[in-house]
C-alpha cells in the first residue's frame, strides 16, 4: 500500500511510504522516477543484507534494524532484524517495508518543519542513524544484561544445562548482527564522502564505530564465557573421575585379598586357622590406612 507522507509544497521533497509491498505498488512511481527493475525486485525479495547502490537518477539503499521485540530463541537474520528499502534523491524518498517499523513511524509523526525533514538527505541520515541505534539499544537493554546473568549462572549455580542453550542463541544473535554491521560500513563510508559529509554524517560514523566496538567486545566476552563453561565442565568431569579412581584404588587390594581366599581350594592352610578371619580384616584395615596416608601425602585428598 502506497502512502504519501510529504509533498513538495510542504517540504523540499516528496516522501512515499510503501508497506506490505506488491509489484503493482511501484508501477506509477517507477515511471515517474525511472526506478530500475532490479531495485524493485530487491525490494520484494527477502533476506538481503544492508547495501547502497548508486544509479543515474537515484540511490538505492537497504537497511536492517532490530524490531521492538523478537523471540529469545531466534537465530536467523529475518527473525532478529527487520528490513527497510529506500529509493531516494534530492527530490524524493520512497521507503519500502513489510512490517510496522517503530522508528519510521516516529519520523512520520514529526512536524513538517522539523529539521529531520528539511531535506531528503536529512531524512535518510535520520533513518540510517535510527536503524543503527536499534542495535545499540538491543545491546544495552537486552544482550549485555543477559550475558551478565549467564556469567552469574556459570560461576554461582550448579545447574548449567539451560544456560548453555540460551548462550548458544545469544552467540548466534551476536554473530548475525556483526555480519549486518559489517555491511553497514559501506553505507556509513558512502555518506562520509566529501560531497555528503556534514555534522550529521560525522555523528553517524561515531554511532557506527561505537556500536561495532560494543558488539565486538560482546562477541569476545561470549566466546570467553563459552570457553570458561567448557573448562569448568571438563574440570568437574576430571574431579568425578579422580574420585572414582581413588575409590577403586582403595578397593583394589581388598578385592584381591577377598578373591584369593574366596577360591576355596582344599589345601589352603589359612582356611583352618582360628584367627584367620580377624587377621584378614586387620590386614585390610592396615592396607586401607596405608593407601589413605599415601594419597594424603601426595595431596590427592
DSSP string of 228-285, one letter each residue:
HHHHHHHHHHHHHHHHHHHHHHHHHHHHHHHHHTTS--S--GGGG-TTHHHHHHHHHH
Question: Residue 280 to residues 46, 80, 250, 257, 275: CA-CA distances in angstroms?
Answer: 80, 71, 16, 8, 9
Percent of all residues in the chain with a pLDDT value above 90, rounded to a whole number:
39
Q: Is 45 exposed, middle or buried (0-12, 13-18, 19+ CB in 10 A)?
A: exposed
* Residue pLDDT, tens place only, 106-154: 999 988 888 888 888 889 999 999 999 999 999 999 999 988 888 887 7
Most confident listed range (179-188, 234-243, 254-263)? 179-188
Strands 2-6 and 59-65: unpaired
Higher-pLDDT residue of 114 and 66 is 66
pLDDT at 160: 63
Is 90 exceeded by the pLDDT of residue 228? no
The percent of residues above 70 in pLDDT, for the chain, comes to: 95
Instruction: Give 69-76 contacts, CB < 8 A, sequence gap 24+.
Output: 72/166, 72/169, 73/169, 74/169, 74/173, 75/169, 75/172, 75/173, 75/176, 76/176
162-189, pLDDT tens digit by residue? 778 888 889 999 999 999 999 999 998 8
Q: What is the C-alpha to C-alpha distance for residues 216 and 209, in angstroms, rounded to an integer?
A: 11
Please, which pLDDT band fits residue 102 given cuts at 50, 70 and 90?
A: very high
Q: Residue 192: in which H helix or E strand, if any?
A: none
Are 1 and 18 within 8 A, CB to CB? yes
Evaluate whether 229 touches 164 at the Cβ level (below 8 Å).
Answer: yes
Residue among 165, 167, 179 nearest 224 (CA): 167
Between 78-82, 152-156, 188-192, 251-255, the lowest mean confidence (pLDDT) is in: 152-156
Nearest in space to 300 (alpha carbons), one of 247, 263, 222, 228: 247
Distance CA 89, CA 25 (A): 19
Q: Which cell numbers hold the place of 128?
A: 540510517
**Mean pLDDT taken over the chain:** 86
Amino acid at each position: 500500500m502506497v502512502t504519501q507522507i510529504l509533498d513538495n509544497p510542504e517540504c523540499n521533497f516528496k516522501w512515499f511510504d510503501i508497506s506490505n509491498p506488491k509489484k503493482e505498488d511501484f508501477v506509477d512511481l517507477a515511471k515517474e522516477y525511472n526506478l530500475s527493475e532490479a531495485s524493485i525486485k530487491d525490494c520484494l525479495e527477502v533476506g538481503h543484507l544492508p547495501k547502497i547502490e548508486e544509479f543515474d537518477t537515484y540511490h538505492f539503499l537497504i537497511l536492517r534494524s532490530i524490531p521492538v521485540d523478537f523471540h529469545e530463541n531466534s537465530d536467523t537474520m529475518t527473525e532478529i532484524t527487520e528490513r527497510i528499502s529506500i529509493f531516494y534523491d534530492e527530490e524524493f524518498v520512497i521507503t519500502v517495508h513489510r512490517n510496522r517499523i517503530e522508528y519510521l513511524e516516529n519520523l512520520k509523526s514529526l512536524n513538517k518543519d522539523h529539521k529531520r525533514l528539511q531535506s531528503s538527505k536529512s531524512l535518510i541520515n535520520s533513518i540510517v542513524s535510527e536503524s543503527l541505534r536499534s542495535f545499540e539499544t538491543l545491546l544495552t537493554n537486552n544482550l549485555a544484561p543477559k550475558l551478565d546473568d549467564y556469567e552469574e549462572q556459570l560461576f554461582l549455580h550448579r545447574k548449567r544445562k539451560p544456560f548453555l542453550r540460551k548462550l548458544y542463541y545469544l552467540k548466534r544473535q551476536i554473530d548475525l548482527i556483526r555480519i549486518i554491521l559489517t555491511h553497514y560500513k559501506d553505507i556509513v563510508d558512502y555518506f562520509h564522502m566529501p560531497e555528503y559529509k556534514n555534522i550529521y554524517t560525522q555523528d553517524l560514523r561515531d554511532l557506527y564505530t561505537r556500536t561495532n566496538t560494543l558488539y565486538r567486545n560482546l562477541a569476545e566476552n561470549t566466546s570467553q564465557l563459552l570457553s570458561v563453561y567448557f573448562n569448568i565442565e571438563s574440570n568437574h568431569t576430571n574431579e568425578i573421575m579422580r574420585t572414582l579412581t581413588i575409590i577403586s584404588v582403595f578397593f583394589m587390594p581388598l578385592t584381591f585379598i577377598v578373591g584369593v581366599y574366596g577360591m576355596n581350594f582344599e589345601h589352603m592352610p589359612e582356611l583352618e586357622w582360628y584367627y584367620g578371619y580377624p587377621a584378614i580384616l586387620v590386614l585390610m584395615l592396615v592396607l586401607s590406612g596405608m593407601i589413605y596416608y599415601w594419597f594424603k601425602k601426595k595431596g590427592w585428598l
